[in-house]
Amino acid sequence: MSDPVGLLKVIVSHGKKMAIRDFRSSDPYVIVRVGNARAKTKVINSCLNPVWNEEFTFDIKEPPQAIQFEVFDKDRFKHDDKMGHAFIDLQPIFSASKLKRALQSKLTTGEMMKLRKVAPNSENCLLEDSFVMYLNGDVVFDARLRLCDVETGELFVKVKWFEGVTTSASSGLK
């Protein structure tokens, strides 16, 4: 069995009930880590329910174990304050991709199908049951994450996996 190689798209949608780190609010941003690669969202000023809607693409040569999310409060004159962290285990996405390949001939591009259920447990950051889906030809995972090591906060993200595709061949991806 060969290791997955392809593109991982991570969409940081929004946050909810973020922790207060300034006087009455926070200026949150998210750092996304996949393996050794890193990306950062823009800062949303004075907001506890920020909307980023930012998409990042990571070229995957060897499969990482997880996507790491770290949320910070931007401070002007001192170090940025931590506002929690979360992660998504990528194994359910990679295994669902194999299922998609097995079902490829039976699925149509406009079809939607649940490939794998991922339930919240003590070893993940999920707040509710989530599903790895086949949606319009793509493997997609929508997740509502609980931020850890913080009094409050949720992060809403979407992950898309494109197996066998690299950044040089990805100009047509949505």
Q: Domain residue spans in the chain?
A: 6-90+140-165
Contact assessment for residue 71 and residue 147, using Cβ atoms and an 8 Å cutoff: yes
Rounded-to-integer distance, Cα 69 and Cα 87, Å: 6
One-letter amino acid for residue 168 of the chain: S
Long-range contacts at 81-85 (CB < 8 A, ≥ 24 apart): 81/21, 81/26, 82/149, 82/150, 83/18, 83/19, 83/21, 83/26, 83/28, 83/147, 83/150, 83/153, 84/19, 84/147, 84/148, 84/149, 84/150, 84/153, 85/147, 85/148, 85/149
The CA distance from 70 to 75, in Å, is 15
Kind and range of the H or E element at 97? helix 91-103
Per-residue pLDDT at 151: 95
CATH number for region 6-90+140-165: 2.60.40.150
- Secondary element (H or E) of residue 155: strand 154-163
The reported pLDDT for the residue numbered 136 is 78
- Of 8-17, 103-112, 157-166, minimum mean pLDDT range: 103-112
| 170 pLDDT higher than 50 | no
Residues 109, 120: Cα–Cα separation, whole Å: 29
**pLDDT at residue 172 is higher than 70:** no
Q: What is the mean pLDDT of the chain?
A: 88
> Of how many residues is the chain composed?
174
pTM of the model: 0.88
Give the model's confidence band at 127: pLDDT under 50 very low, under 70 low, under 90 confident, else very high.
Answer: very high
Give the pLDDT confidence of 37-76 residue by residue, as tens digits.
Answer: 999 999 999 999 999 999 999 998 887 899 999 999 999 8
Q: Which amino acid is at 107?
A: L
- Answer yes or no: is pLDDT of 125 > 90: yes
